[in-house]
Amino acid sequence: MPKKESTLVNALLFAAYAAGGVLSVIFVPPYERGRRMLYGNHNYSSYRNTVNNLRSRGLISVEKKDNQKFIKLTKKGELEILIAKAKLPQSGKWDGKWRIIIFDIPEYAKPQRNLLRSLLKKNNFRKLQASVYVSPYALNREAIQYLQETKLINFIRILKVEEMDNDKDLKKKFSL
């Protein structure tokens, strides 16, 4: 996806999320509003294409009410935003404790398992063993909320470890 469209996708999804899942009046063409669309220098056709793309991916729905169109975030869209927001900003100072995530996700949930691995990697977790990941930093609130909403939390244990034998290699991996 081109960078300009990607920025518009993020703007639409995050705006819908911030508005409590529903955006109003932003689907109206610019000739009716007499000015540019709300999100930057995007023209109407790229905006319309982005809305159609998000709708076809099941992330939003467009609904009519009182002669106005509304963009409504779907449950899938909310999860997509949680994943995007789950990227943990690097903490400057380590508290000396390791965070370990252990999981055993059934085979029928393989896509969710792969998504979890991706989420952990985005949050600076490193693979310790097949289903064990470690990091000096905690998962952020959005990552935990995503795990709860997808019910993956039922297959996961999150540990906060004060001591670990022979963690010199980990300290080196994380530049601690």
* Domain closes at, from 82, 115, 138: 82
Regarding whether 160 and 123 lie in a shared domain, the answer is yes
Q: In the predicted model, what is the mean pLDDT of the chain?
A: 75
**Residue 110 belongs to domain spanning:** 89-173
C-alpha span between 80 and 86 (Å, rounded):
10
- Counted domains in the chain: 2
Q: Which backbone phi and psi does 18 adopt, to 5 degrees?
A: -65, -30
Task: Round to whole Å and give the CA distance between 49 and 39.
Answer: 14
Reported as a single tens digit per residue, the pLDDT across 139-150 is 877 788 878 877
Residue-wise pLDDT for 79-110, tens only, equals 777 777 766 555 668 888 999 999 999 888 88
pLDDT of residue 73: 78
